[in-house]
Amino acid sequence: MLAQYQDLVLPSLRRLVEHQHQHDTGERDAARFLHSVVDQLRGQGVDLPVEGGPWTVGARWLEGPGRGGLPVIPLVQRGDMVIMTGTWDEARGLAGLLNWCHAPASLSPARN
């Protein structure tokens, strides 16, 4: 089951990271999809471990108030990979999902 979720989650995660690197405020479908997967798994009683996994929740401090008046951007990180989120709950959910499905640090597409 984990491999199926990894196959489901990784393409959307790649699109989200590419979107964030373009500094584009356009569609956020990849983020919405990932958060819906988190909600679905939580609804099924799946424990999404934030603590002790390689994906962790962090923050990037801003010079002024950001979205929702927060002084920081909640994010998920592993090594050099950083994924920005809109809320702390989204960051915890995404980190838990990535730890649960053993998402790799590198999001490069697999080569055949």
- pLDDT by residue (tens digit) across 19-57? 666 655 544 667 788 888 889 888 988 888 888 899 999
% the chain with pLDDT above 90: 21
**pLDDT of amino acid 23:** 57
Answer for the pair 12, 98: CB distance below 8 angstroms, yes or no: no
110 in a structural domain: no
Phi and psi at 60, nearest 5°, equal: -115, 115
Q: Does residue 112 sit within a domain?
A: no
Please give the angle made by the CA atoms of 17, 18 and 22, to the nearest 5 degrees: 115
> Is residue 86 one of the residues assigned to a domain?
yes
A 10 A CB-CB count for 16 gives 22
> In which domain, by residue range, is 34 found?
2-100
What is the pTM for the complete model shown? 0.76
In total, how many domains does the chain have? Answer: 1
Q: Which residue has the higher pLDDT, 69 or 93?
A: 93
The Cα–Cα gap between 19 and 42 comes to 26
- Which 8-state DSSP code applies to residue 22? T
Q: Is residue 106 assigned to a domain?
A: no
Residue 30 lies in a domain: yes
Q: Is residue 46 part of a domain?
A: yes
In this prediction, residue 84 carries a pLDDT of 87
Choose between 1 and 100: higher pLDDT.
100
**d(Cα 43, Cα 61) in Å, to the nearest integer?**
32
Does residue 66 lie in a domain region? yes
pLDDT of residue 27: 47
Structure tokens at 60: 């990037």
Instruction: State the average pLDDT for the chain.
Output: 80
